[in-house]
Structure 1
Amino acid sequence: MAKIRIKDIAEQAGVSVGTVDRVLHNRGEVAEETKTKILEIAKANNYQPNLIARALTSKKRCVFASLLPSPTEEDVFWQSPLDGINNATLELEQFQLKVENFFFEHYDKSDFIKKTEKILELQPEGVIFPPIYKNESKEFATKLEKLGIPFVFLESKIETCNYLAYVGSDGYHGGRVAANLIDFGVADNDDILVLNLAKDLENIHHLKQRTQGFLDYFMDYGKNQGSKITMEIPSTNSMEIQEKLDSILSSNNNIKAIFVTGSKVYKIAQYLIKNQIKNISLIGFDPIDQNIKYLNQGAINFLIGQHPYQQGFKSVKTLFEHVLLNHDIVKDEILPADIITKESYQLNKA
């Protein structure tokens, strides 16, 4: 059956298009008898308003907020989701949509809290953020929920929060993928180093998920029976990395693979090249420029990509469809993980 239009309802009711418009959008005075007749015709024909047209003609500006780590030269990963957010906003600017971008220092919880307070003062109609600090993110999510502000997680999710949607990869299974790749390349009795370049790992949600997935893989059915040594380096300072790795590798010369749970795997590649270590496999996350450089040099064996641009882009589109179009939303949009080698990168680049 063809979709009924306002013009069709007006003809059936014997009134003007303007009168139907006033009734359906609850604007202005219309006689009760006429109003009832119009609504009955609309209901009988399953009339659905054109929400996109309504959003286009609305003069009200809709404001969302995003909260991301500052995309610095060392934290360049976060530039990709930011680009996705900005480009989605540009696509939707005809709908009077604006996204206020807020940034916090990646390793500063107090700065994260400070920026969440600024967002709460703004009271946007939707929020996008990665729940990097689990405890502080849960507190922020609770405050948003109390204010009736929907929020979308990217990069990782906290299951116990009442989030509108999650757009991103599965961190736990990303860790399992990394374990599977390493399992192919090491001997059964080789030891493996699991390296987190972060402090307070228990509260860094996505890194903890990846670590757990990696370790669980070997508990379930990995062929490697060597030790799985976990190490936390609270800084990306080259001198501190040198000192920590010198210590662990000198005391255990059976380590034949390193799994870096984040995107700064290039920091470890620099160490391996500087110290002329060629018998250790290295795997980590994200094809950022610094990592691709060492992938092409052979110092990094595998990278796992998680589509950060799409995470940002789709997060804005999800909020838009929920807030302005009142569409039903897919709660968890899990993006695929890409396994990237030197050869596959060159093939895709060609």
Structure 2
Amino acid sequence: MVKIRIKDIAEQAGVSVGTVDRVLHNRGEVAEETRNKILGIAKANNYQPNLIARALTSKKQCIFASLLPTPTEDDIFWQSPLNGISDAVSELEQFQVKVSKFFFDHFNEQDFIQQTEAILALNPAGVVFSPIFSKESLEFTQKLEKKGIPYVFIESKIDQSNYLAYVGSDGFCGGRVAANLIDFGIPENGDILIINLAKNLENVLRLNERTQGFLSYFIDKGKNQGLKISVEISVSEAEIIKEKLDSVLANNKNIKAIFVTGSKVYKIARYLINSNISDIITVGFDPIEQNIKYLKQGSISFIIDQHPHQQGFMAIKKLFEHVLLNHEISKDEYLPIDIISQESIQLYKAF
């Protein structure tokens, strides 16, 4: 079937191309009889507008906003999704897509709130963010919805919100994968230490999901019958970690494995090396440079990768397809979970 063009519709309707363009794109005044005639011809011929061409010829900038924790040496994980966002913008440069990047202190809810207010004042065409703080993030989504601004979650999601899409791993499943790895490697009576490096854990969505998934594995099918000891360390300085873990390990001599729910597993690995402890299996998330270093040394047993670069990249592409191309968007885009070991790290290629 030959695809009909605006020029063909104009010829059939006996009007100018400009008149057809105004009707199809709802711009300017056109007589009702002429409008109905043009729309009838378009419908009869199954006219589909070339949305990509329209986006290319548009002179108007499309400004999205991103909101992520500030990448720091201590929290370098967030550089990867930020790089993914930048790569997506570079690919979409011809479409006049821009992203205003906002950052907040990973441990400061008030700073997060201030940045959300700045984004709302900007009134962007769409927002990409990670809902690290459950309560504050839910309040932000409600304000975005009130203004009609679509938003895409990365890294974790809030199910009770009306989000456009989520791109990331399944946190609950990631916790179960970690449990499965540990279950194979320790005695059935060995105890397991779960470490959350976070302040106000109840409000940190992704760490809770992973912890719940981890524990559910042992309830459902795990062979290990040892204690599951959970520790929250609100400050990640080496001295604080040492003080806390010295106490925990002194009081629990049977710990055979450590599960770190976030990307700072290297801080625990460093403690183990400095304490001359080499017989504990350690599992955490994200192949950042510091984690890879200790994986190669053997003080980290496994790293679970959740593809943060791809999360940032795909999130911007989804906003672009929804806002500029009016495409239907798949709501949940779950990325695969990769397990990286000392033996496979040389084959691993990160962005």
Once the two structures are TM-superposed, the CA of residue 106 in structure 1 deviates from its matched residue by 0.6
**Aligned position for 2:116:** 116
Secondary structure of the residue that 2:343 maps to in structure 1? helix
Using structure 2 for the length normalisation, give the TM-score.
0.97
Superposition misfits of 4+ residues, deviation over 4 angstroms: 28-32
CA separation of 1:28 and 1:163: change in aligned 2, threshold 3 A = closer
Shift of 1:189: 0.2
The answer for the alignment partner of 2:151 in structure 1 is 151
Q: 1:28: Cα distance to partner? A: 4.3
State the match for 2:316 in structure 1.
Answer: 316
Paired residue for 2:194?
Answer: 194
1:286 alignment counterpart: 286
Pairwise CA distance, 1:31 = 4.7
Instruction: Tell me, in whole angstroms, the C-alpha distance in 1 between the residues paired with 2:97 and 2:181.
Output: 43
Aligned to 2:99: 99
- Give how far 1:30 is off: 4.3
SS where residue 300 of structure 1 aligns? coil
Cα distance in 1 for residues equivalent to 2:281 and 2:36:
73
Tell me the secondary structure at the aligned position of residue 343 of structure 1.
coil
User: Any idea what the Cα deviations from partners look like across 1:279-301, whole Å, max 9, x if unmatched?
Assistant: 10000000000000000001100
In structure 1, the residue matched to 2:169 is 169
SS across alignment from 1:178: helix
Output aligned runs, 1:80-95, within 5 Å.
80-95=80-95
- The aligned amino acid for 2:333 is E
In 2, the alpha carbon distance for the partners of 1:205 and 1:26 equals 43
In 2, the alpha carbon distance for the partners of 1:235 and 1:305 equals: 24
Number of aligned pairs? 349
TM-score between the two structures when normalised by the length of structure 1: 0.97
> Compared with structure 1, are the counterparts of its residues 177 and 318 closer, same or farther at alpha carbon in structure 2 (3 Å cutoff)?
same
Shift in Å, 1:32: 4.3
Distance 1:240 1:26 in 2: 63
Q: CA deviation at 1:10?
A: 2.4
Structure 1: gaps spanning 5 or more residues: none
Which stretch of structure 1 is more off in the superposition, 254-263 or 116-125? 116-125
Map of 1:301 onto structure 2:
301
Aligned-residue CA RMSD (Å) = 1.2
Between the aligned partners of 1:242 and 1:178, the Cα distance in structure 2 is 23
* Equivalent-residue separation in structure 2 for 1:215 and 1:33 (angstroms): 67
- Taking the aligned partners of 2:309 and 2:8, their CA distance within structure 1 comes to 43
Say whether residues 1:135 and 2:155 are aligned partners. no
The aligned counterpart of 1:22 is: 22
Q: Deviations over 1:228-274 (max 9, x none)?
A: 00000111100000011100111111000000000000000101111
User: Offset of 1:314 from its aligned partner?
Assistant: 0.5
Determine the C-alpha separation between the residues in 1 that align with 2:200 and 2:93. Answer: 40
Deviation at 1:89, TM superposition (A): 1.1
Query: Separation in 2 of the partners of 1:27 and 1:314?
Result: 32
Please, which moves more after superposition, 56-65 or 26-35? 26-35
Mind listing any 5+ residue stretches in structure 2 that lack a counterpart?
Answer: none
Give the letter for the 1:344 counterpart: S
2-structure distance, mates of 1:196, 1:21: 58
Distance in 2, Cα, partners of 1:199 & 1:252: 24
Q: Identical aligned pairs, as a percentage?
A: 71
Match of 1:185 in 2: 185
Q: Partners in 1 of 2:160 and 2:65 — Cα distance?
A: 22
CA drift of 1:87 comes to 1.1
Q: CA deviation at 1:14?
A: 3.5
Letter matched to residue 3 of structure 1: K
Alpha-carbon separation, structure 2, partners of 1:151 and 1:59: 24
Aligned to 1:257: 257
